[in-house]
Structure 1
Amino acid sequence: MKPQYVYRWVNNHGVILLFKKVLLRRGDLFARLTGSADGIENPYALIEQMRGEGGLHRTHPVWITFDHGMVREILRDNRFGVGVPTVLAPRPVLRALKRRPLPPNPVDPPSMLAIDQPEHTRMRKPVTAAFTPRAVARLRHRIETVTEELLAALPDDGPTDLVARYAAQVPIAIISEMLGFPDSDREMFLRWGDDISPLLDLGISWRTHQRAMESSERVHRYLVEHVERLRAEPGDDILSSLVIAGDLSTYELCASATLLMAAGFETTVNLIGKGIIWLLRHPDQLDRLRAEPELWSNAVEEILRIDPPVQTTARTTRTALEIGGIRLREGSTVVLSLAGANRDPAVFTNPALFDITRDNANNHLSFSSGIHVCLGGGLARMEAAHALRALFEVFPDLRLTDPPTRRQLFTLHGYKHLPAHTGPRVHSHQTVG
């Protein structure tokens, strides 16, 4: 049992878990939202109960907001930082832990998700070129090819799991290629992702945390070896370009690769899975897309709005400040409900209605905002639009055979299994324009 893991769990999860258990017994809505089965299955009912008049709501030990304007403002306000406040360890312990750093993972420094300026810019800038609109557009043909290969592998008029066999496979194939990983390692990455992704939740158990950190160690060992191979024989992938540039240490390179791998996969698999469900449950909208395929891009924006793959993020005040008429002390944590902001009735008319023609669907905050806006948002949109359109064109009679199974996570909200029957295959379909 490594002391740095114990400290990390106590500070980031243990205290919150204790609060949640107490609050759950009292029926607290926030505790139910973040730590109960009904919060995972249908967070939106609880969000609407908590929304109130907007603004900030106190829910010990944090604040929370569902207000679109306030969420957007805080995401863009440099008085708020992304670091989790360190409240339990004295300075000698912190110095000792720095000598034994955590294995790189998506939610601890030097991950871009967990650092502020100026370090954030230093870590983000070398990666940005791989996700410009022009760079993403160059991936279109590869996305189409991967999608066609996966569709060809699905059974004709037979049973399948659309997460394991399709929704998860599209993004993991693309991000693996972008980082120079061999195809044979994709399933290993999927297993590691399942282990590590709970780190983004609030108040996870010690056992779950321990499994996540052990997987982080395995990822780190793999990446160190991979980086060394690229130093000797660089390719034309993102990681090779970062290695050649020499701006980041090996530890920082591993941190960037871990985040890109997680972000490039986790968001998109949930987006594709949710898109399948929303369209199957709203056949009128699917018929409209078949008649007007130019609506696919907006349909993806509406899926992102109404049921975001990432439900929340959080920020911590870097100084005492006032926002929304409420005074916050330095070190106060504010949970930002992206899901709640996306259904703010002050911004979206009839926000619970799934409408692929909604004219302001792209005002959602599903990819965050400000300096931490998701680098891969454009890539996720393109992958989802093509994967969904191609799936329903090749298998127009696709149907679910059993209720879908949710992942037991609150922050990374999506499906673990989508049992389906493909129906007869149509052997020709048009690609996304």
Structure 2
Amino acid sequence: MKPRWTGQEYDPHAPEEFDTPHRVFADLRSRCPVAHSDAFGGFWIATRHADIRSILDDPEEFTTTVRNVVPGASATGRRPPLHLDPPEHTPYRRAIDRALGASRLAAIEPVIERHVAMLLDTYIAAGGGDFVEGFGSPLPALLFADWFQLSPEQTDLLWRTAQAFVKAWEAFDVETVSRTSETLYDLARDLLESRCAAPLDPEFDPVSSLLAATDADGNPLPNEMLVGCVRQILVVGLVAPPVFLGSVAVHLARHPALADQLRTAPHKIDAAVEEFLRLYTPYRGFARTTRNGVELGGRRIEPGEPIALAYASANRDEAVFEAPDEFRLDRANVREHLAFGRGPHRCAGMAMARMEFRIALRELLARTRSIDLAGDVRMSGMPEVGPVYVPLKVTAV
């Protein structure tokens, strides 16, 4: 067995270009699949699909209550469901799932289509620009504003604050993270207060659904935990989509033949989205800690030591996916990817996210004749992986 710690085997601060993280992950999978980093106070990073899957499938041993993301730890209270393990997390998760049922998704699909059309019309008329700023970032903010039924003022506040929060998180700017997080808490409290006074349909409104939820004894959920839950939801769906959509845009610019193929075969869009999710999973930092201590990948990990789960690496694991760095339409086992996690904390919004990405890709291709890179991309920091700046030149149909 290797010694429990051998220093800086993975450096999340190393400069990255678009393909760099995946080369680093491939190297780690082959020679050091559970690597140590001394960044962010020290953590382990698991890179193989089998190890990450086993961790996600064992919430009794691997808890989210101590550390659920690298970098960072909650300094402003616990936010369910991510900060809780089953069964404590279950009533919160059940309430969120209720507001994301089939009827809600059917109602929100035309809303997504309107937002996508509006943003793309403006972006394409300008000839392109930063795809993340011009399209990838505002789209989920507008979508969440509709899901939460926010006012225009609340929508603007959410978008501006979430953008500042994410940038501060990536820069490990603790002061700005705390300040913007408190603004989001205030928005969550306002939403809960207004829904208490005038509840909406819990099948359509996540805040009303949470207020209607009860614990195992039939008691209402604690108010401060509800505040934390709403605050959690407000941010989580705004972080990954811009990074993912930016990666897709880079891939299409690099592979114009694929873009043309999908333009002529739009029925392949769903399969393309699934392969893009595998290929460009935007997470490398969701985390767990072991309760009792474990041996993983030949390393000894003690209780309380964070283990980052590199979903982006797992989804290019050559032990699971043939030619993992290639984009392959209709890949037979594509659904084995972990882009949305697995187990009790699997992404609650994955159906809505798939719908969002499918519509975005379909309309981007339908409205353009060409998509070209117009400069260098700029990459995110941990916990995401992917571009936060994607300059494009696009030509309209």
> TM-score category by the smaller chain?
0.7 to 0.9
CA contact (8 A) 2:373 2:393 kept: yes
CA deviations over 1:82-137 (Å, ceiling 9, x no partner)? 1336xxxxxxxxxxxxxxx9545xxxx23322221222113212111122355324
- Greater shift, 116-125 or 232-241, is seen at 232-241
- 1: CA distance between counterparts of 2:93 and 2:169? 20
2:369 counterpart SS class? coil
The one of 194, 208, 226 equivalent to 2:163 is: 194
1:81 and 2:30 matched? no
1:313 and 2:286 matched? yes
2:370 counterpart SS class? coil
- 1: CA distance between counterparts of 2:115 and 2:124? 16
CA deviations over 1:178-207 (Å, ceiling 9, x no partner)? 112123333432332233336876xx64xx
2:16 counterpart SS class? helix
CA contact (8 A) 2:378 2:389 kept: yes
- 1: CA distance between counterparts of 2:307 and 2:85? 16
The one of 192, 206, 215 equivalent to 1:238 is: 206
Name the % identity: 27
1:124 and 2:105 matched? no
- 1: CA distance between counterparts of 2:17 and 2:119? 33
1:135 counterpart SS class? helix
Q: 2:175: which partner in 1?
A: 210
Higher helix share: 1
Q: 1:323 to 1:50 in 2, by over 3 A?
A: closer
Q: 1:273 to 1:326 in 2, by over 3 A?
A: closer
Deviation at 1:311, TM superposition (A): 2.1
CA contact (8 A) 1:39 1:410 kept: no
- 1: CA distance between counterparts of 2:387 and 2:158? 18
The one of 24, 34, 43 equivalent to 1:46 is: 24
- State the TM-score, normalizing by the size of structure 1: 0.78
The one of 134, 138, 152 equivalent to 1:169 is: 138
In structure 1, what residue type is equivalent to 2:210? L
CA deviations over 1:375-398 (Å, ceiling 9, x no partner)? 011111110111111011112223
The one of 27, 45, 48 equivalent to 1:64 is: 45
**Structure 1: any 5+ residue segments left out of the alignment?**
1-21, 86-100, 427-433
Q: 1:183: which partner in 2?
A: 152
Q: 1:200 to 1:377 in 2, by over 3 A?
A: farther
CA contact (8 A) 1:65 1:334 kept: yes
In structure 1, what residue type is equivalent to 2:371? L
1:30 and 2:30 matched? no
Q: 1:49 to 1:183 in 2, by over 3 A?
A: same
Q: 2:247: which partner in 1?
A: 274
Deviation at 1:367, TM superposition (A): 0.9
Deviation at 1:41, TM superposition (A): 6.5
Deviation at 1:46, TM superposition (A): 1.3
Backbone CA RMSD of aligned residues: 2.7
The one of 397, 405, 412 equivalent to 2:384 is: 412
CA deviations over 1:277-321 (Å, ceiling 9, x no partner)? 111211222122122212111111111111211123221111234
Q: 1:4: which partner in 2?
A: none
- State the TM-score, normalizing by the size of structure 2: 0.85
- 2: CA distance between counterparts of 1:118 and 1:280? 45
Q: 1:113: which partner in 2?
A: 82
1:359 counterpart SS class? coil
The 5-angstrom pairing of residues 221-370 of structure 1 reads 221-236=186-201, 237-245=205-213, 247-323=220-296, 327-370=300-343
In structure 1, what residue type is equivalent to 2:186? R
In structure 1, what residue type is equivalent to 2:27? Q
Deviation at 1:40, TM superposition (A): 7.7
Deviation at 1:38, TM superposition (A): 2.6
CA contact (8 A) 2:312 2:385 kept: no
In structure 2, what residue type is equivalent to 1:67? R
Following TM superposition, where does structure 1 have runs of at least 4 consecutive aligned residues deviating by more than 6 angstroms? 198-201
Work out which structure has the larger RCO, using CA pairs closer than 8 Å and 6 or more positions apart in sequence.
2
